[in-house]
Amino acid sequence: MLGCLVAAGILIYLTTGAPRRPASVSKGIKPDCDIHHGPCTRAMNGASATLEISPKPVRAMTDLVFRLSLTGLSMPDAARPDPPFIDLDMPDMFMGYNRIYLTREKPGAYVGTGVIVRCPSGIPTWKATVTVPGAGEATFVFDVIY
CA distances from 49 to 39, 42, 123, 143 (A): 10, 5, 26, 19
- All structural domains of the chain, each given as residue ranges with its CATH number in brackets, are 21-143 (2.60.40.1930)
At residue 111, the pLDDT reads: 98
Question: Lowest-pLDDT range, 12-16, 57-61, 79-83?
Answer: 12-16
78 DSSP 8-state letter: G
pTM equals: 0.79
Confidence of residue 134 (pLDDT cuts 50, 70, 90): confident
Cα(98)–Cα(118) distance, integer angstroms: 12
pLDDT greater at residue 80 or residue 40: 40
Mean pLDDT of the chain: 83
At residue 13, the pLDDT reads: 38
